[in-house]
Amino acid sequence: MERLSDIVDMAQAHIEQETALRIERIRRSTRPGVGRDHCIDCGRPIPAARRVSVPGACRCVACQGLLETL
């Protein structure tokens, strides 16, 4: 019988793999583009690292997170 910690570790590895696959699908489906310097919702600057990671980003991480939870 597997120990509970082994089962939890396997579940965590599965979650991390699924998350990585979803992120990669989103990156592939996002049309490359310049994006925006400032968030369209709150007006705060979008960090350069986000603009590089998510081409065409038009929202900061906080506003995008709020949008995705709705």
- Residues 47, 31, 43, CA angle at the centre, nearest 5°? 35
Q: Where are the domains positioned within the chain?
A: 1-30, 34-70
What own/partner pairs with CB < 8 Å and gap ≥ 24 does 26-35 have?
27/54, 30/54, 30/55, 30/56, 31/55, 31/56, 32/56
Claim: this prediction has a pTM higher than 0.75: no
Q: What are phi and psi of 2, to 5 degrees?
A: -70, 145
Q: Among all chains, which residue has been given the structure tokens 């979803």? A: 22
pLDDT for 55 equals 82
CB 62 within 8 A of CB 42: yes
In tens, the pLDDT along 3-53 reads: 888 889 999 999 999 999 988 887 776 665 556 889 999 999 999 999 888
